[in-house]
Amino acid sequence: MRFAPLGCGLAAVLAWEAAGAPVGAAQEKVAAQAPPPVEITIDNFTFTPTEITISPGTTVRWVNHDDIPHTVVEAEKSFKSKTLDTDDSFSMTFKSTGSIVYFCSLHPHMTGKVIVKSGS
Residue 71's domain is classified under what CATH number? 2.60.40.420
Q: What is the pLDDT of residues 36-46, one digit of tens each?
A: 899 999 999 99
> Would you say 98 and 82 are in contact if contact means Cβ atoms under 8 Å apart?
no
Q: Do 44 and 100 sit in the same domain of this protein? A: yes
Total number of domains in the chain: 2
Q: Do 44 and 91 sit in the same domain of this protein? A: yes
Question: For residue 49, what are the domain limits?
Answer: 38-116
Q: Do 15 and 47 sit in the same domain of this protein? A: no
Q: Do 104 and 76 sit in the same domain of this protein? A: yes
Give strand pairing partners of 59. 93
Q: What is the pLDDT of residues 75-97, one digit of tens each?
A: 998 999 999 999 999 999 999 99
Q: How many CB atoms lie within 10 A of CB 22?
A: 9
Q: Do 45 and 23 sit in the same domain of this protein? A: no
